[in-house]
Structure 1
Amino acid sequence: MNLISDFWATILVSIATLVVVCNSNVQYTSTYNRHRRVSNRTAVPSPVSSIKVDFESQHVENEFIIVFNGYYKESTRFHYITAALRKTQVETWNIIDRQNLAALLPSDFDVLRINDHTTEGIEALKNHTAVKTVSEEKEVTRALKSLLPGGDDDDEEYVPWRSSRPMTRNSLSLFSDLWGVERHKSRRLLRAAPRGTREITNVLQADVLWNMGYTGAGIKIAIFDTGLSEKHPHFKNIMERTDWTNEKTQDDGLGHGTFVAGVISSQTDCKGFAPDAELYIFRVFTNNQVSYTSWFLDAFNYAIHRKINVLNLSIGGPDFMDRPFVDKVWELTANKVIMVSAIGNDGPLYGTLNNPADQMDVIGVGGINFEDGIAKFSSRGMTTWELPEGNGRMKPDLVTHCSSVRGSKLDGGCRVLSGTSVASPVVAGAVTLLLSAVSDKNVAVNPASVKQALMASARRLPNANMFEQGHGKLDLVKAYQVLRNYRPQASLSPSYIDLTECPYMWPYCTQAIYFGAMPTIVNITVLNGMGVTGRIVDKPIWQPFSPHNGNMMEVAISYSKELWPWSGYLAVSIKASKDAADWEGVADGQITITIESPPGLGEDEPRSSTLVLPIKVKIIPTPPKAKRILWDQYHNLRYPPGYFPRDNLKKNTDPLDWDSAHSRPRRRVFPGRNYQIRRDVDNGLSVIIFADWYNTTVMKKVKFFDENTRQWWMPDTGGSIYQH
């Protein structure tokens, strides 16, 4: 139960965002002969003002990714698979040939095609001692970008922002329908921007570090994208270009990878942040913007082999359900690869973050404009990934400029574009520059320490909440000052809980808590800069600041006892105690936890860090039931005690309901109990329905409940009324 309060305006805005329109011009479809890895469409799309692409995320029939518990030679992996299938009825199977550089190295996985339609072989593989997991291979289209044609900046077409979600869920990447919902109209991941833009490196004062002699030299940065031309005039330090697709070219056919690389490391014209960095170009998408999970796994393994320092992913998708992909991201960061990823262009709705940017060990970057306003298209939290372990944490981690940014064009020169695909390389380039600036200062550089420095130095924006901006706006110079003085430690994100602070702590600050209400649960990310592994020693301790006021609040804590890689979670459940049933005031206290990691190189004692999490809440007397409301918001942000409803319960890959097309009363699951709305209506519950009604060709039957007859009935409109 929630108290009726003044946040209705916010709710109405959320409802208003349900109606959006997106336009499209040209349609492409992509189909694959998966076994032979041959695309039937590999040509570069002709220049058009926009492109509509019908993309799908689908499991490849009869193909499975067999992940082993270590890295083995090809012959050894073949032996393990043969041994597992020998005693089964499976007769026809083969290992898919992977023709790339990683095939020359020991690997931890194979792609197996089993032609027999039986689960016996899969179960046998899962039970083999050398096999870690067996997952279905996925053909995915984390669609990237169809760039607007352009010559000089003055020729760029200005495209006003349009919501990327016309009643359906889309991934970070452009055009993608990866969450199991219906396809939608096209949108641009990078949008052409108005004239008069400024150099992003000047705005963020990269020249301060350049003048100190730091330019990214000696730092290896990998760009996972659409490739880059070897002879592009903006780049002089391309160390290696690799192709992981089936198209046998390292060149960029779309322009997305070229623009991203330019923001990071262009040496001329629109200069990048780290012009002297060592560029490693990984082409992981075809010109039709198609990829496979196994392509990424091979490319990730090769990045580890090449000892990459920073990895930029201006892409994304629903990979929270793709275990091999997620596990490999963890392995990358465990090997000290600092991964930076775009948070997505699916705003302004909440809970629209994209993977891997929403993972705890990855730096997830959102976008702002040059007026320090959150870009409308920038995705925002809370996280919908790691819910069983992390429970809706705060993301993005920070924000930076993503609107009207200059970067390299496909054929030379510069262009001006927008999107969180811009924000990610801004931060990746800044991180590369920072690493070169502290490489000679004996600083403990790892994914957690760099992330901690970025968070600690970020400038908080005054009019944005925590799920829009994270810790705030990137401050490159201050980040350098923090990082050069860094000492290994643990930290919390966010570092405090103040449910009276608005707008930053929205939505928690929109109303006070009271006895009898469902608990408010705030989820904290634990960052461990002391080591890739760690643990929370003993149990966290809750201490009220005042013996009287503090006892008005009850606090329960759940947490990950083992921290890996570099991170964990702390879930704090807050509710008013029985003593506060008739009390009004502010209660506060703190949680104290101790993090411990193994000794560092040359150290004898374990590393330890004690953290304090202050908590402050406003409590009011329990209101009568007539003044309470149970808010069932389909675009619900709060989890828990909120929930992410799904319209189609069979689509378990999508935690959110983006269509809100409810044809009948259904059961909703709340923490600790089941909630059936019809049952409570029968017992006297009043129901208020907010809806967005308009003419549509879709007719849905709607029943109403008559309080007098205590019966459900349907209006006399031919059995249906217009409803979305």
Structure 2
Amino acid sequence: MKKIVILASFILFFGGLASHAAATEGTDASDHLIISFKDTIDYALLEEMGAVIHEEFDAISAVSVTLPSEQMVQAASNHSSIEYIEENAIVKAAAQTTTWGYKAIKANTATSLGYTGKGVKIAIIDSGINSKHPDLKVAGGVSKIENSSAFTDGNGHGTHVAGVIGAQNNSIGTVGVAPSASLYSVKVLSANGIGTLEGVVAGIQWAIDQKVDIINMSLTIDNDKQSLRNITKKAYDAGIVVVAAAGNEREKGLFKDVLFPARYSSVVAVGSVSKLNKLSYFSNYGASQELVAPGEGILSSFTNAKTTTQDDYAISEGTSVAAPFVAGTFAQYMEAYPHLSNKQLRETVKRATIDLGQKAVTICTVTGWCNH
């Protein structure tokens, strides 16, 4: 089993949020199918089948569509040019709630050396980011939730994650791990913290097209999905560091490894530890776990449904808040070592770890910045 790793990085706070199990507005796409072609997307065949195209995923030669009948679905599944057909699925925010603080991380070291993520583009694939929050700057984004802006956040989860990574170094609130990084809001979760497989794949496709450097996904899905596996690999092959939350079901004993997409080898799987560097009671772990980071009771930016003020912060816990800590740390590394590939950066981070045993390990951000 791989050892888990905790980031003893530079920065102040970070958080995650509770999610709910029921889908609501913007997520009703149960009749959507993801069709992947063996070669290029066959638009002529799709037109012949009467397909309504919702999203295109060029990186994996796939589309999200609705087909007019079950018979047409069956016919499509037998067509020689189609590699696979996958039903849409629900993806949920990986998070919980409450307590603690932040100080298991050494925030001042990176800042004193001048590494704050400058020049690094980070896509936060989540519930959106409240761009009006006074502690956040959002460089751009896209929404895959119908009739919903990427720059609003009815759930608060994405805004909380954004604060962990990029809360500004100013006189209010908190400061993020990489406050100089460029944050991109990729909304794939609705106000209830629920989204679809289609939306997440589309969000990753958008991030690839935008040539971002890092993707953070503080969300989980229980089962392996080929389209999700393929698109995360495409992102990784494109040089992007892909980070995802391990999930918070440990107490239930349902899973022997982290959830997806964290379980994919192309993704850095992140679990949570307490301020005592102990694996959090809720944090999934297993053979695919790569790093752990503080994830209990973390303060970060949040969304007030009625107004936005400098008082809009919340404390929460979960692997959702540990993941952006890792994403922010990679941004620091990228600024410090711009010549390294994503694969080399991943190995560099691993070499900076402090072993906490089979279930937990502590990692410093840049090699030599922490005393082991």
The TM-score range, normalised by the shorter chain, is: 0.7 to 0.9
1:333 maps onto 2:236 in alignment: yes
Distance 2:199 2:298 in 1: 30
Using a 3 Å threshold, how does the CA distance of structure 1 residues 357 and 415 change in structure 2: closer, same or farther?
same
Provide, for residues 100-125 of structure 1, a one-character-per-residue CA deviation record: whole Å limited to 9, x for no partner. xx79x898322333333326512443
5+ residue gaps, structure 2: 1-19
Contact 2:27–2:195 (CA under 8 A) maintained in structure 1:
no
The equivalent residue for 2:122 is: 221
Distance 2:217 2:206 in 1: 15
The aligned amino acid for 1:240 is G
Distance 1:451 1:28 in 2: 33
Matches within 5 A, 1:81-96: 81-82=46-47, 93-96=50-53
Residue 426 of structure 1, CA deviation? 0.7
Using a 3 Å threshold, how does the CA distance of structure 1 residues 456 and 106 change in structure 2: closer, same or farther?
closer
Q: Report the TM-score when normalising by structure 2.
A: 0.82
Residue 370 of structure 1, CA deviation? 0.7
The equivalent residue for 1:502 is: none
Using a 3 Å threshold, how does the CA distance of structure 1 residues 380 and 401 change in structure 2: closer, same or farther?
same
Residue 71 of structure 1, CA deviation? 5.6
Using a 3 Å threshold, how does the CA distance of structure 1 residues 400 and 248 change in structure 2: closer, same or farther?
closer
Residue 260 of structure 1, CA deviation? 0.4
Distance 2:231 2:59 in 1: 15
Distance 2:98 2:188 in 1: 24
Distance 1:426 1:28 in 2: 25
The equivalent residue for 1:64 is: 33
The equivalent residue for 1:475 is: 364
User: Equivalent of 2:146, from 239, 243, 246?
Assistant: 246
User: Equivalent of 1:108, from 61, 85, 89?
Assistant: 61
The equivalent residue for 1:235 is: 136
Contact 1:434–1:480 (CA under 8 A) maintained in structure 2:
no
The equivalent residue for 1:369 is: 274
Distance 1:430 1:376 in 2: 24
User: Equivalent of 1:272, from 173, 176, 187?
Assistant: 176
Residue 220 of structure 1, CA deviation? 0.4
Distance 2:347 2:27 in 1: 44
User: Equivalent of 2:292, from 399, 419, 423?
Assistant: 399
Distance 2:124 2:291 in 1: 20
Using a 3 Å threshold, how does the CA distance of structure 1 residues 209 and 295 change in structure 2: closer, same or farther?
same
SS in 1 for 2:362: coil
The equivalent residue for 1:143 is: 92
User: Equivalent of 1:426, from 311, 316, 325?
Assistant: 325
Contact 1:314–1:424 (CA under 8 A) maintained in structure 2:
yes
The aligned amino acid for 2:97 is R
Matches within 5 A, 1:278-677: 278-320=182-224, 322-348=225-251, 349=253, 351-381=256-286, 394-410=287-303, 411=308, 412-413=310-311, 414-439=313-338, 443-446=339-342, 448-461=343-356, 464-465=357-358, 468-469=359-360, 472-478=361-367
Distance 2:145 2:285 in 1: 31
The equivalent residue for 1:205 is: 106
Higher RCO (Cα < 8 Å, 6 or more apart)? 2
Distance 1:259 1:70 in 2: 40
Contact 1:139–1:290 (CA under 8 A) maintained in structure 2:
no
1:191 maps onto 2:90 in alignment: no
Residue 95 of structure 1, CA deviation? 1.6
5+ residue gaps, structure 1: 1-26, 40-58, 86-92, 145-172, 174-188, 382-393, 482-724
Contact 1:215–1:277 (CA under 8 A) maintained in structure 2:
yes
Distance 1:328 1:38 in 2: 20
Using a 3 Å threshold, how does the CA distance of structure 1 residues 71 and 433 change in structure 2: closer, same or farther?
farther
Matched pairs, number: 338
Contact 2:299–2:315 (CA under 8 A) maintained in structure 1:
yes
Distance 1:318 1:38 in 2: 17
Contact 1:241–1:281 (CA under 8 A) maintained in structure 2:
yes
Contact 2:34–2:63 (CA under 8 A) maintained in structure 1:
yes
Provide, for residues 669-688 of structure 1, a one-character-per-residue CA deviation record: whole Å limited to 9, x for no partner. xxxxxxxxxxxxxxxxxxxx
Distance 2:121 2:239 in 1: 12
SS in 2 for 1:423: helix
The aligned amino acid for 2:334 is L
Using a 3 Å threshold, how does the CA distance of structure 1 residues 225 and 28 change in structure 2: closer, same or farther?
closer
Matches within 5 A, 1:25-174: 29-30=22-23, 60-61=30-31, 63-69=32-38, 77-82=42-47, 93-98=50-55, 108-118=61-71, 120-125=74-79, 127-128=80-81, 131=82, 133-140=83-90, 142-144=91-93, 173=94
Using a 3 Å threshold, how does the CA distance of structure 1 residues 139 and 247 change in structure 2: closer, same or farther?
farther
Contact 1:209–1:437 (CA under 8 A) maintained in structure 2:
no
Contact 1:339–1:362 (CA under 8 A) maintained in structure 2:
yes
Distance 2:213 2:263 in 1: 20
Task: Considering fraction of residues, name the structure with more helix.
Answer: 2
Distance 2:280 2:187 in 1: 28
The aligned amino acid for 2:291 is L
Residue 366 of structure 1, CA deviation? 1.1
Larger Rg computed on CA atoms: 1
Provide, for residues 31-89 of structure 1, a one-character-per-residue CA deviation record: whole Å limited to 9, x for no partner. 67xxxx785xxxxxxxxxxxxxxxxxxx934x4322134566xxxx4214346x5xxxx
Q: Report the TM-score when normalising by structure 1.
A: 0.44
Provide, for residues 583-610 of structure 1, a one-character-per-residue CA deviation record: whole Å limited to 9, x for no partner. xxxxxxxxxxxxxxxxxxxxxxxxxxxx
SS in 2 for 1:304: helix
Distance 1:284 1:112 in 2: 17
Provide, for residues 627-673 of structure 1, a one-character-per-residue CA deviation record: whole Å limited to 9, x for no partner. xxxxxxxxxxxxxxxxxxxxxxxxxxxxxxxxxxxxxxxxxxxxxxx
Distance 1:319 1:310 in 2: 23
The equivalent residue for 2:12 is: none
Contact 2:121–2:181 (CA under 8 A) maintained in structure 1:
yes
